[in-house]
Structure 1
Amino acid sequence: MCERSVLIKAVLEVWSSGQSHDEAVQSAVAQGPAVRTQRREFLAAPKTLQVRVEAFGRTRSMEEKREILDIWKPIFDGDETVDLHAPDTILWALEEHGHISEEKTHLGPRTTEPRRVFFGRQVAGGRSVDKKLKDGEKAFYQRYDLSQRAVLGPTTLENELAFIMANCALAQAGKCGMDPFCGTGGLLVALSHFGVRLFGGEIDIRVVRGWAIAYTKNKEAVDEAARKRGLATAATSEASATAITTATATTAATATATATTAAAAVAFAVAATAKPSASDTMLGAERETKSASGLGLDYLRSFAAYLCSIGLQIEGLEPTTEPPAEVEPTTTTPTAPTTTKKPKHPNQAKKQVKDFALTNAGGLNVFTNFVQYGNTPPDVVVCDNSMSPYRKVPQGWLDCIVTDPPYGVRAASKKSGRDPNRRQVEIRDVGSYIPSKVSYGEDELSHDLLGTAADALRDGGRIVFLVPVDLADFLGIDRAASELREGCAEKETLRAMAYPKDGRPKKDPRLCISETTRDPLLLDETRYLDFIPRHSALELKGASLQVLSGGLARLLVTMARLPRER
Structure 2
Amino acid sequence: MWRRYLMWFAHEHIDFRFQEIQSIIKLFDIPIRYVEKPCTNKPYWIVEVPSEEHVKLIASRSVLLKNCIELWSRAKTGARLHSNLKQALMNKSGKWIVGERSDKDSSELDICPGELISSCCSSDISYKVHVETFCNHFSMKEKVDKIEKFCYLPLNGSVNLKKPDITLAYIEFYGIDCNNVPEEPYDLFFGKWVADGQRDLIQAHSLKKRKFIGNTSMDAQLSLIMANQAQVSNGHIILDPFVGSGSLFIAAAHFGAYVWGSDIDYMMLHARTRPTRCGQKVRTKEENIRSNMKHYGSESKYLDVIVSDFSLPMWRSDLKFDAIVTDPPYGVREPTEKIGIERDNYSLSEEHLEHHVPSKVEYGLPQLYSDLLNFAARHLELHRRLICWYPVVRSDYSDEELPSHPCLELVANSEQVLSKLTARRLLTYEKIKDYTSDVHIDKSMVMPNFREKYFAMGEISRREKKERRAEEIAQTLRMKSQKNLLKRE
TM-score w.r.t. the length of structure 1 is: 0.54
2:364 aligns with: 441
Which one has the largest radius of gyration?
1
The answer to whether 1:374 aligns with 2:297 is yes
2:72 aligns with: 15
The answer to whether 1:450 aligns with 2:320 is no
Deviations 1:169-194 (A, max 9, x none): 11122222100000111111221223
- Structure 2 residue runs of 5 or longer lacking an equivalent are 1-56, 92-113, 437-489
2:151 aligns with: 76
Of 335, 358, 367, which residue of structure 2 is paired with 1:412? 335
3-state DSSP of counterpart to 1:188 = helix
2:9 aligns with: none
2:445 aligns with: none
Q: Which amino acid is 1:186 matched to? A: S
Residue 448 of structure 1: how far off its partner (Å): 1.4
Residue 199 of structure 1: how far off its partner (Å): 1.8
Specify whether residues 426 and 197 from structure 1 end up closer, same or farther in structure 2 by C-alpha distance, changes over 3 A only.
Answer: same
Distance in 2, Cα, partners of 1:111 & 1:544 = 31
What are the equivalent positions in structure 2 for 1:21-170 lying under 5 Å apart? 21-32=78-89, 35=114, 38-39=117-118, 41=120, 47-55=126-134, 59-62=135-138, 70=145, 73-77=148-152, 86-95=163-172, 108-109=179-180, 116-128=187-199, 139=200, 142-170=203-231
1:559 aligns with: 429
2:317 aligns with: 392
3-state DSSP of counterpart to 1:386 = coil
Deviations 1:256-307 (A, max 9, x none): xxxxxxxxxxxxxxxxxxxxxxxxxxxxxxxxxxxxxxxxxxxxxxxxxxxx
Distance in 2, Cα, partners of 1:208 & 1:160 = 23
| Maintained 8 Å contact 2:67/2:194 | yes
Residue 141 of structure 1: how far off its partner (Å): 6.0
Distance in 1, Cα, partners of 2:400 & 2:342 = 32
Q: Which amino acid is 1:47 matched to? A: S
What are the equivalent positions in structure 2 for 1:122-271 lying under 5 Å apart? 122-128=193-199, 139=200, 142-213=203-274
Q: Which structure would you say has the larger RCO, counting Cα contacts within 8 Å and 6 or more residues apart?
A: 1
Question: Over the residues paired in the alignment, what is the CA RMSD in angstroms?
Answer: 3.8
Distance in 2, Cα, partners of 1:54 & 1:168 = 30
Give the structure with the higher percent strand: 2
| Maintained 8 Å contact 2:239/2:321 | yes
Distance in 1, Cα, partners of 2:251 & 2:215 = 18
| Maintained 8 Å contact 1:42/1:89 | no
TM-score w.r.t. the length of structure 2 is: 0.62
Distance in 2, Cα, partners of 1:109 & 1:531 = 38
Residue 160 of structure 1: how far off its partner (Å): 1.7
- Structure 1 residue runs of 5 or longer lacking an equivalent are 129-138, 218-346, 475-526
Deviations 1:202-226 (A, max 9, x none): 0011112221255689xxxxxxxxx
Distance in 2, Cα, partners of 1:110 & 1:445 = 48
Residue 70 of structure 1: how far off its partner (Å): 4.3
3-state DSSP of counterpart to 1:153 = coil
Specify whether residues 110 and 127 from structure 1 end up closer, same or farther in structure 2 by C-alpha distance, changes over 3 A only.
Answer: farther
Q: Which amino acid is 1:171 matched to? A: V
3-state DSSP of counterpart to 2:65 = coil
Distance in 1, Cα, partners of 2:169 & 2:236 = 38
What are the equivalent positions in structure 2 for 1:303-318 lying under 5 Å apart? none
Specify whether residues 52 and 388 from structure 1 end up closer, same or farther in structure 2 by C-alpha distance, changes over 3 A only.
Answer: farther
Distance in 2, Cα, partners of 1:175 & 1:169 = 11
Q: Which amino acid is 2:403 matched to? A: P
2:324 aligns with: 401
Specify whether residues 39 and 373 from structure 1 end up closer, same or farther in structure 2 by C-alpha distance, changes over 3 A only.
Answer: same
Alignment identity in percent? 30
Q: Which amino acid is 2:246 matched to? A: G
Matched pairs, number: 352
Specify whether residues 109 and 86 from structure 1 end up closer, same or farther in structure 2 by C-alpha distance, changes over 3 A only.
Answer: farther
